[in-house]
Structure 1
Amino acid sequence: MPSVTAVRTSVLPPYAAYLRVYEPLAAFPEPERARWQTYAAEHGPAAGSPGAAPSALAERRRSLAELVTVTPKALPERESRDALVRVADGVTYICPSRIRLRSWLALEELKEELPAPLLDAVLPPAVREQAEADWNRWRGDHPDTRPWILTRTWHVPMRWFLLFSEEERHFSPALPALPAEEGDGGAGRAAAPASLFYLTPMAQARRRLARGYRVLRENLDEGPLVTGVEQVGRWLEEFHPRSLVELDYGGLVHAIPEARLADDRSAAEVAEGIAALRAGDGDRAGQAYRTVTERWRLVQELLYAN
């Protein structure tokens, strides 16, 4: 894989992880392709911003700002025309934000996760009903649309790790703030948190997921893990075969001590568990599973801390 640059910022994002697909410009039909090409030239790494542009955090800040109003809003009024951009081996890749679409999908999940009284307190029924009516109308006009970004709060689903190998892991330790020094134009450096992400070609991601799915189907009963892997596989099939797939720990780096983050080898442990299942070693597979689930259980419990 080509070298990549982590996005650094000093502003705390939501405690969420992201699975993203970056498609090559060739995957987009005209005139959308021309618009993204212009966008990448203006906002992408080649224009002076390393990594992805606008940054993943900038996207989250904008979406949160749009929703924090006196009158509760379930989703932004207009769809975002922004994207995350990567350039690798001379190829420009685009990951459209589609914040409004993702807000609709998140609202569907929220209805299943929260009890009705709490959901009514967060989003009044009238607000939800309008959002649902807009969603049904929009979905009827755009039946084939899918999000380029999947989001999960307070954890990384185990099935996401199936797509990556240890060699594709990119960890960057936190950077302390530096004061402005004479001779550097008066510019200092803001403190930056640690970052952790994985990046792989789509072909590799699909191959690993298919192998893992086959092993799970042969050794486990039908359940949330097997069903979840199948859903991720169907989602990946919607994209260009030469895309890039990224797993970004996002704001979870603020919930996990840096030492634990540096030692996190979840993708390698999931791969070890799949290999053990394939070899018929249930004890070793069980140990790998417990290691990963215990790590993320500790993170999820922070949701209930005061």
Structure 2
Amino acid sequence: MTVVRTSVQPPYSAHLRVYEPLSAWPEPERSHWRAYAAERGPDAEDREPVAGAALAEQREALAELLARTPRALPEQESGQAFVRLLEGTLYVCPRTTRLRSWQALEELHRELPAHLLDTVLPPAVRAAAEADRQAWWADHPDARPWILSSRWEVPVGWFLPFGEEDRQYVPQGEGEPPTAPALFYLTPMVQARRRVARGYRVLKEQVPRGPLVRGAERVGRWLEEFHPRSLVELDYGGLVHLLGDRLAGERSVAELADGLGALRAGDGAAALRAYESLTGRWRKLLALRQAS
């Protein structure tokens, strides 16, 4: 397991990850990941967080930026992964750094004004990245990321695959500097798909045109891409530092479940209260982005 003690804080991002069992990989990928895990060891055993490995990934990315002229994306896809060992089974979540960089670039297009985007990434750099993306997709039409990331918030739809019993809270550890706290949810894929399907049906019946329906649909389609015996993880990542003292009492998964239960029972007022409580908390964090 990777353990990192550092005063550097990770970005304010949350991550939704899928870990596929080693048996899901065809050869030669299976042998590659088996050797990779044997050489490095798992990043987490049982229900430990992968926070140390995630922070190490961020530090590696920062080191690359400092060592060369910044580019829109890495020249080659990462050969690294997050590795979990749970109940004797090895699970692998490839980092797919290059693919995720393309997705981040698309997000920048949506969020930044044109003049600011040109300052961060000049048009020629973006055009080259887009040409690379088109050529890569032509050769990899079925590719998908094992990791989704969200800055400054956890999208409400990401809470659907989990139950309160999946919650894992690790308080800040002692040491100098101390290890950071962690909050994550980990559940089997079968359970995750079942919960998303149930939530989607309720939302489709009660609020068919709301953003929750679209979010549930996106998450459900993404999960269908993976092996049915995979693991699904929601990692609050660097958002733990924004939540501060509220982290130990953060129960968004339970609040969403309460709201869906109220919808099933026909109690619209209770469902609205749960939804407003849930979204209000994350709006406060998003407001910090505007102030930063």
Give TM-score, length-normalised by structure 2: 0.94
156-165 or 5-14, larger mean C-alpha shift: 5-14
Q: Does the 8 Å contact 2:44/2:50 carry over to 1?
A: no
The counterpart of 1:286, out of the listed 262, 266, 272, is 272
CA distance in 2, matches of 1:271, 1:53: 26
Superposition pairs for residues 12-27 of structure 1, below 5 Å? Answer: 12-27=9-24
- Residue in 1 aligned with 2:26? 29
Helix, strand or coil for the counterpart of 1:255?
A: helix
- Residue in 2 aligned with 1:156? 154
CA distance in 1, matches of 2:165, 2:67: 44
Q: Does the 8 Å contact 1:63/1:76 carry over to 2?
A: no
How many pairs align? 289
Is residue 76 from structure 1 mapped to residue 62 from structure 2 by the alignment? no
- Residue in 1 aligned with 2:251? 265
Superposition pairs for residues 117-128 of structure 1, below 5 Å? Answer: 117-128=115-126
CA distance in 1, matches of 2:2, 2:237: 11
Taking structure 1 as reference, are residues 154 and 38 closer, same or farther at Cα in structure 2, changes over 3 Å only? same
Superposition pairs for residues 214-253 of structure 1, below 5 Å? Answer: 214-253=201-240
Q: Does the 8 Å contact 2:14/2:150 carry over to 1?
A: yes
Tell me by how many angstroms 1:44 deviates.
Answer: 2.2
- Residue in 2 aligned with 1:184? none
Tell me by how many angstroms 1:304 deviates.
Answer: 2.1
Q: Does the 8 Å contact 2:49/2:184 carry over to 1?
A: no
- Residue in 2 aligned with 1:63? 61
Helix, strand or coil for the counterpart of 2:243?
A: coil
Tell me by how many angstroms 1:283 deviates.
Answer: 0.5
The counterpart of 2:263, out of the listed 250, 253, 277, is 277
Taking structure 1 as reference, are residues 53 and 17 closer, same or farther at Cα in structure 2, changes over 3 Å only? closer
Q: Does the 8 Å contact 2:42/2:84 carry over to 1?
A: yes
Q: Does the 8 Å contact 1:171/1:195 carry over to 2?
A: yes
- Residue in 1 aligned with 2:289? 303
- How big is each residue's C-alpha offset from its partner over 1:53-88, in whole Å with a ceiling of 9 and x where there is no partner? 971111122223334466331111111000000001
Q: Does the 8 Å contact 1:201/1:242 carry over to 2?
A: yes
The counterpart of 1:40, out of the listed 13, 37, 40, is 37
What is the one-letter code of the residue matched to 1:31?
P
- How big is each residue's C-alpha offset from its partner over 1:77-105, in whole Å with a ceiling of 9 and x where there is no partner? 11100000000111000000000010011
- Residue in 1 aligned with 2:107? 109
Give TM-score, length-normalised by structure 1: 0.89
CA distance in 1, matches of 2:51, 2:183: 17
Q: Which runs of 5+ in 2 are unaligned?
A: none
Taking structure 1 as reference, are residues 74 and 46 closer, same or farther at Cα in structure 2, changes over 3 Å only? closer
6-15 or 21-30, larger mean C-alpha shift: 6-15
What is the one-letter code of the residue matched to 1:234?
R
Taking structure 1 as reference, are residues 125 and 199 closer, same or farther at Cα in structure 2, changes over 3 Å only? same
221-230 or 134-143, larger mean C-alpha shift: 221-230
What is the one-letter code of the residue matched to 2:282?
W
Taking structure 1 as reference, are residues 298 and 47 closer, same or farther at Cα in structure 2, changes over 3 Å only? closer
